[in-house]
Copies of this chain bind each other. A is one copy, B any other.
């Protein structure tokens, strides 16, 4: 142990050791030293000492002085879901690439928790906030606005700042069409056999449903309201809806459009209580991609939202000086059954 091994070195420590003033040390270590006409030799000495004593700047002190922290926040509904956790993974990589520190938190889709979480992040002087899948983006906006914090919406749009979201209408169309086309010409799907389950009254669900209805009407004709069951996002409510349907109709629809992978988990819970045969001839489309879901015992067509695309766009928009509060749509991708895509995990090197 070269140094005391205990407390972290500060610019004051280096100042004493180098015989320079703290401000000189600071300038050398934060890169502004040329502007301050510090001699190359002085700088070299200080850098060497910093290295030797493993100096790292105290970010709290830096942040206090500059009212910036180097932290970039991502506010998620939940972590444990492939869509959002991929979002977190990709976000981290992009923030790191910009030399800042990502901080990812979830707020449970609860408007109040969303606002409180934003407040907390603000108290740490985060520099920017990406609001992903928020139930009340404009509520979070208020909080950010008041603190002068730059922010942007992802996945679900707000009205006060720019939003970057999945093209849910187009995705809903693609998925619906793929479901219908999955059936053979000699026994085609009929209008009463295609149901949508899941989602609630948020922008994403509404747009997906709009796409669903448009294509369904076009290809199959009629579309009575009971073909659409908005169950909310809770797996258990979704399961209950399937149970109720099955109870009443004596069977499941031949084809399902499931609003999200979280709703799909509700379907799994239903599956657990029913034998294989119940699902043997059905086709399921799910808005969201999960590799394991793609290999279930019936054809599962999935929509993979373009997470990298959305985040890249969001970062780009963030850099604009005064971006207009418009909504940018990013096209998602249709994934055929039994497809295992590569993901952020593949970027890792696998040491042994």
A residues engaging B (CB < 8 A)?
5-8, 54, 56-61, 63-64, 69, 71, 78-82, 84-86, 88-89, 92, 101-106, 108-111, 119-120, 122-125, 135, 146-148, 200-201, 232-237, 262, 264-265, 268-269, 271-272, 290-297, 338-340, 342-352
Contact = CB atoms under 8 A, between A and B. Distances in A.
Given A79-B104, A101-B120, A265-B291, 17 more contacts: A8-B122, A58-B64, A59-B123, A60-B60, A60-B61, A60-B64, A79-B88, A80-B86, A80-B344, A92-B106, A104-B105, A236-B342, A268-B295, A271-B295, A272-B295, A272-B340, A295-B297
B265 A108 contact: no
Contacts of A80: 82, 85-86, 88-89, 343-345
12 contacts: A8-B147, A56-B122, A71-B124, A78-B344, A85-B88, A89-B106, A103-B103, A109-B351, A268-B340, A271-B338, A271-B340, A272-B340
Nearest to A135: B351
Contacts of A236: 342, 346
A272 B7 contact: no
Given A61-B64, A82-B82, A110-B349, A105 B102 contact: yes
Nearest to A6: B148
Contacts of A349: 108, 110
Contacts of A293: 292
A89 to B, nearest CB: 4
Give 4 closest A-B pairs by Cβ, nearest first.
A292-B292, A234-B350, A268-B340, A85-B85
A232 B123 CA distance: 41
Contacts of A290: 292
Nearest to A297: B297
Contacts of A292: 264-265, 268, 290, 292-293, 296
A232 B271 contact: no
A202 B108 CA distance: 34
A346 B269 CA distance: 12
A48 to B, nearest CB: 19
Contact of A233 (B109, B125, B350): B350
A352 B297 contact: no
A110 B348 contact: yes
B78 A79 contact: no
